[in-house]
Amino acid sequence: MLLTIIIVAFIISLLVTYRNYRKVRARAEPYNPFKETRMKVKVGCTKCNYTKTRAFKHSEYIFQEIGKCPKCGKTTIIKGIYHQKKKSRKEIKWEKWLAQWQ
């Protein structure tokens, strides 16, 4: 009887220790914005109101000249670099479902 109580108490203490260990591990992980977001670049024309948003490429910076505007032929520059929250599969599915009714 006593042995059973000791074994059960031991198992419970192991579980509690494991749970606390998991909590400490989760807290110790540093915040990584790249895990939940993706970098986006807003490219815009210097003359007309043409803008386009696309994925960020390495070593791009604000006001960098990118190319020619497809509308008027003037140079396009990077007007903004920002993080965008990644959409979950559920959100994408929901948006697709909504789009078929529009």
Query: Which residues make up the interface to Zn ion (CB under 5 A)?
Result: 45, 47-48, 50, 69, 71-72, 74
Nearest to 36 by CA among 80, 93, 91: 91
Q: How far is the CB of 78 from Zn ion (least distance, A)?
A: 15
As a whole number of angstroms, the distance between CA 70 and CA 50 comes to 8
Question: How crowded is residue 41: how many other Cβ atoms within 10 Å of its Cβ?
Answer: 20
Q: How far is the CB of 89 from Zn ion (least distance, A)?
A: 36
Q: How far is the CB of 35 from Zn ion (least distance, A)?
A: 36
Q: Coil, strand or helix: which one is 10?
A: helix
- Rounded least distance, CB 66 to Zn ion, Å: 12
For residues 71 and 93, which CB has a smaller minimum distance to Zn ion in the complex? 71
- 83 in Cβ contact with 37 (< 8 Å): yes
CB-nearer residue toward Zn ion: 33 or 70? 70
Backbone phi and psi for residue 40, each to the nearest 5 degrees, phi listed first: -125, 155
The nearer residue to Zn ion, 20 or 75, going by C-beta atoms, is: 75
Q: Which is nearer to Zn ion, 22 or 68 (CB)?
A: 68
